[in-house]
Amino acid sequence: MPVQTRCQWIQDPPCTKSGQVVCEGCSRKHCAQHHCSHRQELEAKLDELLRNNETVLDQAQAANPKDSALQQIDEYEAQMTAKIRESADNARQKVRRIIEDGKNDVKKELQEIRNGMLEKKQNDDYFENDLKAIENKMNDVQKNAARQQQIKVILQPIQQWDHLIQIEKPVSIRRGRKRFD
């Protein structure tokens, strides 16, 4: 005779009937009634997994815009744009100041030369060498004025535009895809 096994129902209250039906999943033996209950337990667990499946789907579909990769890219773009704009604004300001200073210098030098000439003219106090000296000074001022225009702009190129923002795809966990039986 086969050894009698008690129903292995683990929930309260304990069952005193003999276990006649074996569950192929967990190998526990149950009485007919508890075999039924055990199947209901498994069904409830499957239903829970089905609900979780929907929850995970909902969560995955409703991507949170905060902290998202897109937001990081937006912020980076804004920061870089702001830095480049700031850098360009500063550079423009420097160029304008240099031009302005150069013009003022030329104006001041010409004014001095002019005052000197007017004074000499008024006093009728000049000779060829004075005129030559004035002419030389004027030439220098003119040359300097032309030189003031030649402002050198050194632009730092960005070497790798393609690598400015790099994106890495997350590695997925992939379990063996067994068929449901």
> Rule CB under 5 A: which residues touch Zn ion?
7, 9, 15, 17, 23, 25-26, 31, 34
Beta carbon of residue 12, minimum distance to Zn ion (angstroms, whole number): 12
Burial class for 169, CB neighbours closer than 10 Å (0-12, 13-18, 19+): exposed
Q: What is the dihedral of CA 85, 86, 91, 93, to 10 degrees?
A: 110
Preceding peptide of 13 cis, ω within 30°: yes
Beta carbon of residue 177, minimum distance to Zn ion (angstroms, whole number): 24
Nearer to Zn ion, 9 or 141 (CB): 9
Nearer to Zn ion, 14 or 55 (CB): 14
Beta carbon of residue 22, minimum distance to Zn ion (angstroms, whole number): 9
Burial class for 137, CB neighbours closer than 10 Å (0-12, 13-18, 19+): middle
Nearer to Zn ion, 34 or 141 (CB): 34
